[in-house]
């Protein structure tokens, strides 16, 4: 019994360790201010501010936490659930460019979907997803998918860091 508990603990720690981000504090204050200045400069250069919960159109890039996010495309298709019920599959194509001087992480798990009835949906990993670390000046893009019941309507795609909502886009139905 002890062997099973120890083995499962090791598996859980390995999975959680693989999903974590590198949150080491930067010991060089000069580098930290440079990264902040670069983020502010990028937001200013694009004449867009990187404010919390800002709503933008699908094609307008915006800088949030050192990542220039662009919502490239939105698709709504019909899907059939395991119990043969018709559902709507909302798929968004997201592109993130690292405009900071340090590596940043971005992935499907950073996005949630709000519905008209104010429910929050997590990414549906039964469909394609993306994620990874982005080096400075590099780009990462991929799909973010959500499955909704036929009668549900999506209202907002939200980018979040942890539990804090950083950015939102209105969803076309």
pLDDT digits (tens, 9 = 90+) for 97-110: 999 999 999 999 99
Q: Give the sign of the dihedral formed by CA 46, CA 48, CA 51, CA 54.
A: negative
Please report, for the chain, the start and end positions of each structural domain, with discontinuous segments joined by +: 35-170
Q: With beta carbons less than 8 A apart as the criterion, state whether 85 and 150 touch.
A: yes
Pairing of strands 131-134, 86-98: unpaired
Domain at 35-170: CATH code: 2.60.40.1240
Query: What tens digit of pLDDT does each residue of 8-49 get?
Result: 566 555 544 444 444 333 333 333 333 333 333 333 333 333
């Amino acid at each position: 019994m002890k062997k099973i508990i120890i083995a499962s603990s090791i598996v859980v720690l390995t999975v959680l360790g693989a999903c974590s981000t590198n949150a080491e504090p930067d010991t060089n204050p000069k580098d930290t201010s440079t990264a902040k200045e670069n983020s502010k400069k990028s937001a200013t250069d694009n004449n867009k501010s990187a404010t919390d919960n800002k709503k933008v159109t699908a094609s307008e890039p915006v800088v949030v936490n050192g990542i220039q996010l662009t919502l490239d495309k939105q698709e709504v298709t019909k899907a059939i659930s395991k119990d043969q019920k018709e559902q709507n599959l909302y798929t968004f194509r997201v592109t993130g460019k690292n405009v900071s001087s340090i590596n940043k992480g971005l992935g499907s798990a950073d996005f949630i979907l709000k519905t008209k009835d104010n429910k929050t949906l997590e990414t549906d990993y039964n469909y394609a997803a993306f994620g990874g670390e982005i080096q400075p000046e590099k780009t990462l893009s991929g799909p973010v998918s959500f499955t909704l019941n036929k009668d549900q309507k999506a209202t907002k795609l939200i980018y979040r860091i942890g539990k804090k909502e950083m950015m939102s886009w209105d969803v076309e139905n």
